[in-house]
Structure 1
């Protein structure tokens, strides 16, 4: 099992469950997230084997500082999980939603590269087995109405992980793409549509870690949601779109049930400010 892990998005949901599993298994764990209280509760499980970090994952300098501190205290990780992510509805016709897309890409896509980058050369130099895990989504397999920003960020992440996997084939490092379906977390709490295969974070965390340990490069949580998504993809695009258009859409920023997006302010989504209209 893994002995030295770094996990972003460790404050709740899947990340919190992953951290708890690894701590219980005796691993040293870097807990990276924005909610210090939630991270402190995890760290209390094993104060001598954990450290807390609260950077913005899209800030490369802050992530490099985090990595430098962890490497100085615990050496190179053998498990690096880029799990931090945000979700929300998106409407292209609304200029305010462009800020939502920008922030979502910064966290969901750029944030994975800023997580991997400061550790990668040290892990390569060590010439020891190690796993780099990016948490994408089945939403990255095909665009869904009203969810363009999230789908684009996860599709981009899947392509990035494919590229990185090819680059590292000759090394001792492996790259794993995780595509969850619907997990019972804060990101899905506001959904009003059907969520087939809804999975609890604890079960998802155990399945993810088993899959990585067994060398599976593509992990779908749960597997049956992957089969359903692939079956739908066999339909003509017009039929597929019609089915999806009939579903309720994910709440957009500042709508009831929307999940807060860190770093996105009211000013960012103020249409009057964006279009320079007088108030």
Structure 2
């Protein structure tokens, strides 16, 4: 299948399941994430075929340094999976949540481009088949109350992947958009609402890799959640909104059940005259 892979967000959930399956298949795998102990446990499965990297995926210079080292030591990948992502509730009326939106866009959207960019020219120069995979979400198909930052980041990602796919049509590289529904991961552990079609990450990883290897450009995990989302989209917008408004909302940063957002700065820090932007 794939012999040389790079995976961001490899610490847990879908990313960890993807890494394990690729390592088990004999591939060389660059493990990119922030949880060092989790990455070390994965690397121990095949020390000679893996390497650990812990950059901020939104930091272009750090990602380029990571890519340069991997290319020099293991060669050009035939699979790059931009899986790193964060989630959390968002309330526009609360100024502190503006920092949440900024950071979510940096990781979920910009982080995909900074993952692909350092490898793209080498993959093109190799003139062989290769795959660029972006993990979006069905949340990018339609905005949901209390989830504006996450939905916006994933909708933007879907559009970015569409653009990149069109650009690379004349080449041997393919671009794949993954739209998971609910996976049993840390990002969904704090959800208090119904999660239809909840899928185990190991099953999702198998379906993803099989779909990419089979040339599917759009992969929904599981497929039935995509059908449900499309069925709801046929309703008048007011009815659809009323259904969504009746559901509990995603926990916001600082609330019980919220997942941490690495590198998150408060709105107070961002508005300080001495504040400096992240690199």
TM-score with structure 2 setting the length: 0.96
* Structure 1 residue 98: Cα displacement: 0.3
- RMSD value over aligned CA atoms? 1.2
Residue number in structure 1 paired with 2:255 = 255
Q: Note the alpha carbon deviations across 1:172-203, whole angstroms, 9 max, x for none.
A: 00000000000000000000000000000000
Q: List aligned pairs for 1:108-119, cutoff 5 A.
A: 108-119=108-119
Q: List aligned pairs for 1:133-144, cutoff 5 A.
A: 133-144=133-144
Residue number in structure 1 paired with 2:190 = 190
Residue number in structure 2 paired with 1:47 = 47
Find out whether 1:169 has 2:169 as its counterpart. yes
TM-score with structure 1 setting the length: 0.96
* Structure 1 residue 275: Cα displacement: 9.2
* Structure 1 residue 270: Cα displacement: 4.7
Find out whether 1:80 has 2:80 as its counterpart. yes
Contact 1:3/1:78, CA 8 A, preserved across alignment? yes
Q: 1:247, 1:269 → 2: CA distance?
A: 27
Residue number in structure 2 paired with 1:132 = 132
Residue number in structure 2 paired with 1:220 = 220
Residue number in structure 2 paired with 1:208 = 208
**Number of aligned pairs?**
273
Contact 1:57/1:84, CA 8 A, preserved across alignment? yes
Q: Note the alpha carbon deviations across 1:46-75, whole angstroms, 9 max, x for none.
A: 000000000000000000000000000111
Gaps of 5+ in 1: none
Moved beyond 4 Å, runs of 4+:
273-276
Q: 2:226, 2:102 → 1: CA distance?
A: 28
Q: 2:175, 2:132 → 1: CA distance?
A: 5
Q: 1:228, 1:94 → 2: CA distance?
A: 32
Gaps of 5+ in 2: 274-279
SS of 2:176's partner is strand
SS of 2:65's partner is helix
Find out whether 1:19 has 2:19 as its counterpart. yes
Q: 1:2, 1:275 → 2: CA distance?
A: 47
Q: 1:207, 1:154 → 2: CA distance?
A: 20
SS of 2:209's partner is helix
Contact 1:95/1:274, CA 8 A, preserved across alignment? no
Contact 1:34/1:55, CA 8 A, preserved across alignment? yes
* Structure-2 change in CA distance of 1:3 and 1:242 (3 Å): same
* Structure-2 change in CA distance of 1:36 and 1:275 (3 Å): closer
